[in-house]
Amino acid sequence: MQFLSLLGPIAYLGILIGSMATFSHLYRQRQINSKLRLAPYFPAHASRNIYLSLLHMSDSNPDVKVPDSVLRAALLSRAVEDVQRVMEVRTRKPPLAQLLQRGVVGDEIFQRLQRAEQELELEIKDVVNEANALAPNWGTHIFQSANEMVNNKMLRDKLDAIKATLPAEKEAWDAQREKARRELEGESVSRVKTQAVEAPAAEKTIKAGSSDEDGVIVEPPAAEVPAAAAAAAGGGGGGGKGKKKKGKK
């Protein structure tokens, strides 16, 4: 009787656990299928496809032997593209996560980015193994060389962009210089006109001043007036003495 009384709860727990396990399995399978149906975040890896084609060319045609230098160059180009994709993922992931938290973008694009990041991790491991197979210990240096090549390419792109803007900047500078020259010439012409207008006025002022000076009566100094009066008095006295002398005679 006790077993029969416990049979109902045990059956209920079994059905509950089974249903939860089935739901979890179906949910995970659905998530995996949805991820597989997601569009790839990056386009097709052309450098990887070229390297694999060169690597298996000798398998399809034994008479064709691909030199190791060509394989190394193709693998290095593949590593360069991997570095570019890793830099792009690192640049886009933080702002995309912030936009996802704010609800600006959907979850699908962030899942695509995470899937691309996981694929890049596997791709990097594959490139390291291929590099070690082509040359001993090359896998520890191949991505360093690829990173230097990417930085060099970015620097050249910046220099090319600056060089492309040089003609426009030169035209703008020439236009600004011509404008400044015209402004300076306009100021010099205005100064010459102002001087030409002010010169007759100055001459009129000078002539008016000279005519006023000509009309002024110049009086002798005070020291000369007594001396002239004394001389006149002396002359008059001399004439009187002469007259007296004439009367005596």
Residues 51 and 12 in one domain: no
Residues 63 and 98 reside in one and the same domain: yes
Instruction: Report yes or no: 89 and 116 within 8 Å, Cβ to Cβ.
Output: yes
> Which of 106 and 189 is assigned the larger pLDDT?
106
Among 153, 176, 208, the domain boundary falls at 153
User: Which of 153, 178, 196 is where one domain is finished?
Assistant: 153
Domain check: are 142 and 46 in the same one?
yes
At 141, phi and psi to the nearest 5? Answer: -120, -10
pLDDT in tens, 191-230: 666 766 666 655 655 555 544 444 444 444 444 444 444 4
The domain boundary, picked from 153, 179, 200, lies at 153
Mean pLDDT of the chain: 77
pLDDT band for position 247 (cuts 50, 70, 90): very low
What average pLDDT score do residues 153-176 get? 90
Q: Are residues 33 and 86 in the same domain?
A: no
- DSSP for 167-205 reads HHHHHHHHHHHHHHHHHHHHHHHHHHHHHHHHHHHHHHH
Q: What is the pLDDT of residue 77?
A: 94
Longest alpha-carbon distance in the chain: 204
Q: What is the mean pLDDT of residues 133-148?
A: 91
The overall pTM is greater than 0.75: no
State whether 23 and 109 are in the same domain. Answer: no
The domain in which residue 112 lies consists of: 42-153
Alpha-carbon span 224 to 204, nearest angstrom: 37
CA distance 210 to 212: 5
Cβ atoms of 105 and 99 within 8 Å: the answer is yes
pLDDT of residue 142: 93
In this structure, the answer to whether residues 51 and 31 fall within a common structural domain is: no
Helix (H, G, I), strand (E, B) or coil at 226: helix
